[in-house]
Structure 1
Amino acid sequence: MSGTGARTADSKIFFREFLRSPLVTASAIPSSRQLAEQMIAPIPEHGDPVVVELGPGTGAFTRAIQRRLAGRGRHIAIELNPRLAGVLAERFPEVEVLIGDACTIPELLAERGLSADVVISGLPWAAYQGPLIPAIAEAMAPTGTFTQFTYVWTRWAAPSRRQLAGLRGAFEEVVLSRTIWQNVPPALVYVSRRPRTA
C-alpha cells in the first residue's frame, strides 16, 4: 500500500475507533510525521535501547520508532484497543504488541526483566486521571526519557495543567518542544527526563 493509501486507511480506522470510544482513542485522526519525529527524538542513535510505546493506535509513532531503531534494541507497544492492536501486530511483526492497560507497564517490563530507556505516549487525557505517570516513572531506567504530546489549543485546559504538574512531580526535568504546526491540530511535546522514582 502506498504512503497516501496507508494514511487514508489509518484515518478511517482511527475515526471509526474514535467514534466507538472517544475516551480510549486519543484522536479522530493519526498524528503527523512531523509530530512523530519530535516524539521519537530522545531515542539514542546507538546501542540497544528499550523503547516502550503507549497507545500506539495504527502505528504513526511505531513506524518512526522502527526507522530510528533500525533493528537495534527492543520495541514494546502497549495498546488497550484490541482492534488497533491487531492492526499494529500485522503491520509491524518485529514489534512486541501487548493488549493491556498502560498502568501495568511496571509489571509488564518486570516480567521481561526490563526497564524502559524511552517511553513514548500517544494516550489521551482520560488515561492520566489515575496513577499512570508514577507507573511510567517506576518502569523507567534512571536516565530514561518520556515523551507525551498535547494540542496547542488545549494546553491551558485543567486536565493538561494537571498532567504537566504530574510530570513535574515524577521527573527531574520537563521541557516543552516547539509548536508542530504541520500536525492537525497543532501540537507540542512534553519531554520528561530522569524519573524521580527510578
Structure 2
Amino acid sequence: MFLPISFIFSFLFSSTNAADFCVGDLNGPVGPAGYSCKKTATEDDFSFSGLLRTAGNTSNLVKAAITPAFSTQFPGVNGLGISIARLDLAVGGVIPMHTHPRASELILVMDGTLFAGFISSDNKVYSKSLNEGDIMIFPQGLLHFQINTGKTQSVAFVSFNSADPGVQILDFALFTNDLPTDIIEGTTFLDAAQIKKLKGVLGGTG
C-alpha cells in the first residue's frame, strides 16, 4: 500500500524540531537529566558571546579563574552532552585537586605553561607539562589538577562530555564546612592544628 504524496508532505512539514534539541528553561526545575525544555528556541540560544573572550579575575587565593559555559550559563547545550569553560591562571596559579562526577575533561592550552595531571583509582599519577597547543584528558570522576608553572599568565580551554559536569574540589570539601576537626583528623591523618588552620583560611568551622 502506498501513502499519498500529499500525506507524506503534510507529515514532513508538520513535524517540529522538538526532538532535535532541548534548550534549557532556566526558570524551570533542574534534575539529573538537566533542565526541562523551553517552549520556543531562538538563534541566541545556540551561541555564547563575549564571556570566553574575557580573562577571568585571578586575584584570589588560588590565583585562578574559571569561566564556564555549562547549561546554566549556556542553555543551548542542555541535553547535548557537551560544554566548555575557560581557565585563567596567574603565575603560580592553581586549579586545586578536584573531580567532575559527571564528565571526562579535555584541556587545550592556549597560552603559557601548565603542569597538569590526574590520579587513577589504583593511585598511579599521570602528569605532564603542557605548552601552547598541547592537550590532555582527565577521565571522569578522577582527581586532577592544573598549575601554572611558567613565568606568564596561562590560558586554557576545557571541554566536557556533559552539559553539567559538576565539580567537587577536595580542599573545599574538607575545609569549608562544619565537618568536625577530629573526623577529618581521623580520616586523613592530618594534624589537628593544620586542619584548624586550613578551616580558618577556607571558612570552615568545627
* TM-score, normalised with respect to structure 2: 0.26
Q: Please identify which structure carries the higher strand content.
A: 2
Structure with greater Cα Rg? 2
